[in-house]
């Protein structure tokens, strides 16, 4: 009777040890999986951080580009207005410019101005298509030196407005 | 000389004190090419001197207009 209790206790202890062993084995396995998952998560966090950083940089770049575009648009609008005003300029006496009348009175002068402006406009097209600027164009800082048809394209050092 | 200065000042709507012989019409007085043609007509009317279109093409400063008028008056 006493020996069968011993046997039963040994069996129970062995079963407990076996259960404990299995429990520890499972724990170790779970731990290894958790560690692997943790490593993956850390990698993922690092990747996410990099993505967020890249997005922040992209956003900054977009803001800068937008600012530059707004500035270019402002200058182009000014240039357009200046070109428009050239044909409708009001002088100090309040008289509106009449190119037709002027062409009748001083045909050669108007022809010379129009020809010069046409030449300048063609140069603007060349520059817009990728032609490099000349030294003269780069160094132009005075109104009389610039290409008045497209100063923002042709004369980077001219500050008109 | 005063008639030339007055005509230029009136046309450009600037103070006569700024219209000095050394003043560049485009760079200093903010004129454009058509202004120079219009000023030539105004100066011709004011002084009675005819300025040719060839001479006008070389005008850059107030002094250039004065010289052209004085040349014709001599």
Confidence (pLDDT) at A30 = 95
Q: Find the residue in B nearest to A102 (Cα).
A: B38
Per-residue model confidence (pLDDT) at position A76: 83
Q: How many helices (H) and strands (E) does chain B have?
A: 4, 0
The pLDDT score that the predictor gives to residue A161 is 54
Domains and CATH numbers, chain B: 2-73 (1.10.1200.10)
Q: What is the pLDDT of residue A72?
A: 85
**CA nearest A154: which of A117, A118, A127?**
A127
ipTM of this complex: 0.88
Q: Which residues of A touch B13 (CB under 8 A)?
A: 91-93
Q: Name the residue ranges covered by the structural domains of chain A.
A: 1-88, 98-161
Query: Considering CB atoms only, which of B26, B38, B57 is closest to A143?
Result: B26
pLDDT attached to residue A85: 82
Task: Walk along chain A (161 residues) in steps of 10 and give the mean pLDDT of each run.
Answer: 85 92 94 95 95 96 95 86 85 90 93 94 94 95 91 88 54
**What residue ranges of chain B have pLDDT lower than 70?**
74
What does the pLDDT read at residue A88? 87
Task: Kindly state whether B7 is in contact with chain A, defined as any CB-CB distance less than 8 angstroms.
Answer: no
If you search the block for the tokens 């008639």, which residue do you land on? Answer: B3
A91 and B13 within 8 Å at the Cβ level: the answer is: yes
Half-sphere CA count of A19, side-chain side, radius 13 A: 6
Considering only CB atoms, which chain B residues are within 8 Å of A147?
A: none
């Amino acid at each position: 009777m006493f020996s069968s209790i011993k046997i039963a206790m040994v069996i129970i202890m062995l079963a407990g040890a076996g259960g404990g062993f299995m429990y520890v084995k499972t724990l170790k396995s779970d731990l290894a999986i958790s560690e692997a998952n943790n490593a993956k998560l850390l990698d993922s966090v690092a990747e996410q951080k990099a993505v967020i950083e890249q997005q922040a940089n992209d956003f900054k770049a977009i803001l800068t580009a937008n600012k530059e575009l707004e500035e270019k648009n402002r200058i182009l609008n000014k240039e357009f207005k200046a070109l428009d005003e050239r044909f409708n300029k009001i002088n100090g006496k309040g008289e509106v410019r009449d190119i037709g009348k002027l062409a009748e009175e001083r045909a050669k002068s108007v022809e010379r101005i129009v020809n010069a402006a046409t030449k300048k406009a063609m140069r603007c097209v060349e520059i817009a298509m990728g032609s490099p600027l000349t030294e003269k164009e780069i160094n132009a800082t005075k109104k009389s030196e610039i290409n008045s048809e497209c100063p923002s394209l042709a004369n980077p050092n001219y500050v008109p407005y | 000389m005063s008639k030339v200065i007055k005509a230029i000042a009136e046309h450009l709507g600037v103070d006569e004190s700024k219209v000095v012989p050394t003043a560049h019409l485009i760079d200093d007085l903010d004129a454009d090419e058509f202004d120079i043609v219009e000023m030539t007509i105004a100066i011709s009317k004011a002084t009675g001197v005819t300025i040719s279109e060839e001479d006008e093409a070389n005008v850059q400063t107030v002094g250039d207009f004065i010289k052209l008028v004085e040349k014709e008056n001599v």
